[in-house]
Structure 1
Amino acid sequence: MLKDAIDLSTVRRVLVVKLRHHGDVLLSSPVLSVLKTHAPHAEIDALVYHDTRDMLSGHPALSQLFTIDRNWKRLGLRGQLAAEWQLLSGLRARQYDLIVHLTNHKRGAWLSRLLRPRWAVAPGGSFGKFFTNSFSHRYPVIGGNRRHTVETHLDALRRLGIYPAADERRLRLVAGEAAEQSVRQKLAAQGVSAPYLVIHPTSRWLFKTWPAARMAALIEQLRAQGETVVLSAAPDPAELAMLADITDRLSQPVASLAGQLSLKELAALIDSAQAFIGMDSVPMHIAAAMQTPCVALFGPSGDIEWGPWQVPHRLLRAELPCRPCGKDGCGGGKRSECLELIGETQVLAAFNSLMTEVGA
């Protein structure tokens, strides 16, 4: 038995801290669900970066969502200090009994010291005495592409004596009625009706993307077998340029909502799709959260750590001894051979196999 397990019956409020990118935040959503299931009387709050808030807003287990705006530094010293003080005051007013810190960000250590919860848990590792001494519990992190990130997050709870059942570990993302209505209107304007599949060919890290020529060839093959394709992409200029490269290669245009969707709208679009095809990226994790079957292409990133979570899927990767290397392309050259070696016929076969499995 765990000798220093916490007494959940005495926990009134919990703060979950996840200061990372969008996908990382979404993959922390089961932590909220498990805490609420095992301590239904407790209020569960979260602290994330402001631009990632849509990954958790509306989560049924969430009481309050606090955010840190990375643009505070543009306010000048006085403005930034005022924003930080307002945040700290809001957090102090909640009087947390437990802080669950899911990264090695030093802000979590400062919050543990300033908010003085009874318990605080954070990742293990050599992050210095200040970090180490700021927490009552530390959990080991198994790296090297050997454990899914969701399970690593949940290890924070296991370290406290909270053991989640398999059906408690699903990702949760709430699109909301406004986003769903907006997407229905945008699809109708382009003459798209169900069934359709979403292809998101891009990533904020372009070395994790498939060559435009291969993606265009796949779209042509999908369309030839009668599939309705809807393209999506972030409004980032580099991603839109890649979309333009793909669509310029097509014999006929396809529906595209690239650069037109909020994160909530993207979730609504994927939620109503029969399937999703894309890279290791936030939209792939959104597909898993919405339980939309997905085909995911992986290159330099670790598929065990970051693969589609608890959703019917097909994962494609080239079996090279050097992957997953985590590098920005082979030799730092921004092109990943392990992605370029995946052929469009492989992806098409994977899609068709997945559709047969789910009965679509």
Structure 2
Amino acid sequence: MLLTTPVISTLKQHYPDAELDMLMYLETWEMLASNPLLTTVFTIDRTWKKQGKVTHIRHETILIRRLMARKYDLVINLADQWRSALVAKLTGAPVRIGFDFPKRKNRLWQNCHTHLVDVTCHNELHTVEQNLSILTPLHLTPQVSQVTMSYSLEDQSKVEQLLSDRNINGNFVVVQPTSRWLFKCWTDEKMAKVITALQAEGVCVILTSGPAESELKMIARILALCPQEHVHSLAGQLTLRQLASLIDRAALFIGVDSVPMHMAAALKTPLVALFGPSKLIFWSPWQAVGQVIWAGNYCKLPDPDAINTHTAERYLDAIPVQPVIDAARKLLP
């Protein structure tokens, strides 16, 4: 969702008086909830399906009616799901643009949209560029290519209070070693060595993670391998927008292929990103200030499409410690 923000910014640049709404899943709401260019953010809750058929239908009906009441002039469907195509059709918007996905070569998908944009070149484009290509029928030039991450004053105040409580006044480094998928993670020992090297130079380190038990356990293991001075943990304690505020305040971000990595890139916080078998051309941190260290430069990686996402294998293990330390030293003020 964060990588859709250039589409939002481009639309607002060319249609400054337009009201822009977004429809997204509830669990990703935080990514765009504070975006100042959006008028309304509508959400779909995946738990509706678990509330019984009648309740589910009622939620969906209420959502459709709210969208129809907005009387849109233009609907842009960035997804490949039938739900988004049918919603686009039901809004009644006179212009409905979607992608001409190979798996959707049928009359119903065509009828849901008034314009379909070719995706032949998408394999050669970053996700940001893929998203922006949907604006082709509108002939909007120039386009805004910068990804943006927004947070509120309340988020900023919360983070400042957390830092004050821990007597963190100067520069600090945010380290996000976790992902919900282990195959995107580095070894705990190697991450601890990087943190220890930074601590030895008097650098303050803040560890962050999501609230999942597996992520909190990883943070605990890393902390146990590090000296106790100059290191703090806010693991599982921050919302995504609060984490954005923390990263925005940081002198450096070190992390694996994850949402916080993309947030750091969007916020222009200097970063060291450890990247593994995800599709680098699609998912590398867009317009990042810093360095991407790719495991593929140190070993042969499996095809991203063939990976069992539940594997416990950590493909980033091939990345040595020293290049990460060197990159961090180079970027720190």
Please state if 1:222 is matched with 2:198.
yes
Secondary structure of residue in 2 paired with 1:223: helix
Q: Structure 2: which amino acid aligns with 1:57? A: A
| TM-score of the two chains, using structure 2 as the length reference | 0.93
Please state if 1:292 is matched with 2:265.
no
Q: How do 1:126-141 and structure 2 match up within 5 A?
A: 126=102, 127-129=104-106, 130-141=108-119
Alpha-carbon contact 2:89-2:96 (below 8 Å) kept: no
Residue aligning to 1:10: none
Distance 1:215 1:177 in 2: 32
Distance 2:308 2:170 in 1: 37
Please state if 1:263 is matched with 2:240.
yes
Alpha-carbon contact 2:2-2:32 (below 8 Å) kept: yes
Please state if 1:63 is matched with 2:39.
yes
Q: Structure 1: which amino acid aligns with 2:95? A: W
Distance 1:327 1:183 in 2: 40
1:91-147 deviation digits (Å, cap 9, x = unpaired): 000011111111101112111221121111112222141223321222233344x31
Residue aligning to 1:7: none
* Partner of residue 88 from structure 1, selected from 64, 73, 78: 64
Please state if 1:163 is matched with 2:137.
no
Q: Structure 2: which amino acid aligns with 1:296? A: A
CA RMSD of aligned residues (A): 1.7
Please state if 1:347 is matched with 2:329.
no
Q: How do 1:5-16 and structure 2 match up within 5 A?
A: none
Alpha-carbon contact 1:149-1:306 (below 8 Å) kept: yes
Residue aligning to 1:153: 131
Instruction: Compute the displacement of 1:324 (Å).
Output: 5.5
Distance 2:328 2:43 in 1: 38
State the identity %: 38
Q: Structure 2: which amino acid aligns with 1:277? A: I
Distance 1:258 1:333 in 2: 23
1:183-231 deviation digits (Å, cap 9, x = unpaired): 1111121222220010000011121010101001110011112211000
* Partner of residue 185 from structure 2, selected from 197, 205, 209: 209
Residue aligning to 1:9: none
Secondary structure of residue in 1 paired with 2:169: coil
Consecutive aligned runs of 4 or more in structure 1 exceeding 6 Å deviation? none
Alpha-carbon contact 2:174-2:208 (below 8 Å) kept: yes
* Partner of residue 313 from structure 2, selected from 324, 332, 335: 335
Residue aligning to 2:259: 282
Distance 1:178 1:284 in 2: 22
Secondary structure of residue in 1 paired with 2:22: strand
Distance 2:302 2:145 in 1: 27
Residue aligning to 1:12: none
Cα pair distance change 1:121/1:86, threshold 3 Å: same
Q: Structure 2: which amino acid aligns with 1:202? A: T
Q: Structure 1: which amino acid aligns with 2:54? A: R
Distance 1:334 1:216 in 2: 19
Distance 2:173 2:149 in 1: 19
Distance 1:322 1:74 in 2: 38
Secondary structure of residue in 2 paired with 1:43: coil
Alpha-carbon contact 2:208-2:236 (below 8 Å) kept: yes
1:39-60 deviation digits (Å, cap 9, x = unpaired): 1121111000111111111212
Structure 1 regions of 5+ residues with no counterpart? 1-24
Structure 2 regions of 5+ residues with no counterpart? none
Residue aligning to 1:304: 281
Instruction: Compute the displacement of 1:160 (Å).
Output: 2.7
1:230-249 deviation digits (Å, cap 9, x = unpaired): 00000001111111111111
Cα pair distance change 1:42/1:214, threshold 3 Å: same
Please state if 1:42 is matched with 2:21.
no
Distance 1:214 1:221 in 2: 11
* Partner of residue 314 from structure 1, selected from 291, 294, 300: 291
* Partner of residue 245 from structure 1, selected from 221, 235, 243: 221
* Partner of residue 111 from structure 1, selected from 80, 87, 107: 87
| TM-score of the two chains, using structure 1 as the length reference | 0.86
1:251-288 deviation digits (Å, cap 9, x = unpaired): 32520100100111101110100110001100011112
Distance 1:52 1:299 in 2: 23
